[in-house]
Amino acid sequence: MEKIILPFGNGISIFDKGRLCVSLIDKDGNKKVGGRFVKSVGKFLSLPVIRSFTFLFYGLILYIQSFVLLNDIDDRAENEKNKSFKIAKNITIASSYIVLIAMLVAGFLFGFLVLGVLPAFLFKRAFPDNSSYYFRSFIVALMRFAILYMIFTGLRFVPFMSGLYSFNGAGNVYLSGKEDAIRPRTYPLNFLNFLLNIFLFSTFVISLVAVNIFWPVNFVINLLIFLAIVPIVYESLLFASKTKAVWVKDVAIVTNWLVSIRPNTTQSEVLSVAKKELENYADFEKVKTGRVAMSSLYAEMETKLKASDKFEVSDCDWIISTVLGKNRAETKLERSVSDKEYREIMRACDRRSKGEPLSNIFGFVEFYGLRFDVNKKVLSPRMDTEILVEEALKKINEFDAKSVLDLCTGSGAIAIAIAKYSSCKVYASDVSKSALSVAEGNAKKNDVKIEFSQSDLFKSLKKGRKYDIIVSNPPYIKSGDIEKLDIEVKKYDPRSALDGGEDGLDFYREIVRQSKSKLNKKGWLMFEVGQGQSDAVSEILQNEGFDNVSQVKDYNKIERVIYGRLSK
């Protein structure tokens, strides 16, 4: 059976594969979520024609059960709940059928008074008594259809109904599977539109046929017409939902727009809470008062981060895990967070949404399995830089290198990782005293010994000392491109760690030229380079007498590491 979305004025319910999940937002703006297991329908009830009645009656029953769930997850004091919530508390699964019958009876009474008596009265006033019977039936059918259409049009402007239809609009987007599909026509086979079409077209057809034999016979014939309308409406809406023909969807919008309004951010977020609850949690464990459901937290964070249109959703995992002090696997087992944890997480999320790097928010970053403190005085190490470490370790093992120098060390990430995973004597230098202070602290925390020096490249290094391998991730951004960088780079990384001169190659030229007197015979010089710089840096190495020049791609298939061997 199709997924069913059931909207409410303050929330939404999703039924999928035997699980019913309800999410709501209370008057204080807090999002609550809960659910229950519901017996799924068998294959027989999912057959064509039959499935339309399954969708109708199963949907109505689920609506009632969803309302009961709304009461269960609303943790306000009993005296603060309205009468509808108090009534819902006493509704059981068995009594839901009684409520359903009462709803149907009320619907028939409304139809008799507004759709039966009123159009006939208006017709008599507008047309003479000698009008054709068939003409009269057609006009009355149109009038009834028009009255219904005007009623539902007016309901769109009632505050409660507007909220209901907005949540239905959010459900349409979910059913369509397209987050950017925000028009009300997105998915015609939603439950409200299904009910509306049955009501509209059964009223029109019954009025058009206008059976007038004997009231029991009239009732049976009209009931048969109603029963025939249900599968026609269902299959038509299903086709309109699945087809790629735009004009079919345009026809469906004639009724769908009546019960579907574009959702706002909060309504989309409430839907996302229910969706994540179904995707990630199987037990529907009730969240204690004073705590925030993890599904609600994730939905709110994703909304904020996606609005910035720059960041990965995986940032959510990083922020939550860091605040909770757990690894990501442990975080996945958590069902909720405290109010204090929630506030701390959302503060970090807000900073991230404004472009601040996670490393700057928390003051550390993970690199090559190690943890490094960082601040605005050093460049935060990126995952792609791990490729340089890997290649350096390969050369150390292959040629039994004894000494390594890391130029422009910054946070010390490259030097510390090499020292941690090799037996080499590691040296590191940087022109910035502040950066060296950070690097020395990181070396101590990661329990490695490195000889640090403050030096403008090789200028202040010990005279006569040579190295088997020199590695460097120097500044390589073109001076004119720095202002074009993402805010998280140009605002939070030191400019001195970015600016590589007019063409971005100034440091490469200088390092390659000076390194020839600092490398041991057959020593290796290894660089990280920017996108599109690999050929130019390779040429610089070759022109200065380096051989075995090679390029290594990063995780995104971009040439990221260039290295060469001193030929003499």
Whether 292 and 196 share a structural domain: no
224 and 327 within one domain = no
The CA distance from 196 to 185, in Å, is 14
Give pTM, 2 decimals: 0.67
Which residues on neighbouring strands pair with residue 527, listed in sequence order?
Answer: 472, 562
Residue 174 and residue 57 share a domain: yes
Kindly report, residue by residue over 499-515, the tens digit of the pLDDT.
456 677 888 988 999 99
Identify whether 244 is part of a domain.
yes
pLDDT at site 1: 61
> Do 187 and 40 lie in a common domain?
yes
In the DSSP assignment, the letter for residue 116 is I
CATH number of the domain to which 345 belongs? 1.10.8.10
- Over residues 440-494, the pLDDT tens digits come to 999 999 999 999 999 988 988 988 899 999 999 988 776 555 555 455 554 545 5
Q: Rounded to whole angstroms, how far apart are CA atoms 112 and 118? A: 9
Residues linked to residue 528 through DSSP beta bridges, in sequence order: 561
Q: Is the dihedral of CA 325, 331, 335, 337 positive or negative?
A: positive
Query: Cβ–Cβ contacts within 10 Å for residue 541, how many?
Result: 23
Whether 16 and 57 share a structural domain: yes
> Does 361 map to a domain?
no
Q: Would 369 be classed as within a structural domain?
A: no
Query: Contact, 449 vs 422, CB < 8 A?
Result: no
Same-domain status, 184 and 331 = no
pLDDT tens digit at each of 568 positions of the chain: 668 999 988 889 999 888 888 988 877 778 888 888 887 777 777 888 899 999 999 888 888 888 888 777 765 444 444 444 444 444 444 444 454 455 555 555 555 455 445 555 555 555 555 566 677 778 777 877 887 888 888 888 887 788 889 999 999 988 887 765 445 457 899 999 999 999 888 888 877 776 667 767 777 887 888 899 999 999 999 998 888 887 787 788 888 888 888 888 888 889 988 888 888 876 777 777 778 888 888 888 888 888 776 566 678 888 898 899 887 778 888 888 998 999 999 999 988 888 888 878 888 888 888 889 888 778 778 888 899 999 999 999 999 999 999 998 989 999 999 999 999 999 999 988 988 999 999 999 999 999 999 998 898 898 889 999 999 998 877 655 555 545 555 454 554 545 456 677 888 988 999 998 999 989 999 999 888 888 999 999 999 889 999 999 888 788 899 999 987 6
25 and 98 inside one domain: yes
Structural domain span for residue 475: 376-566
What gap in Å lies between CA 529 and CA 540, rounded to an integer? 13
Within this chain, do residues 407 and 259 fall inside the same structural domain, yes or no?
A: no
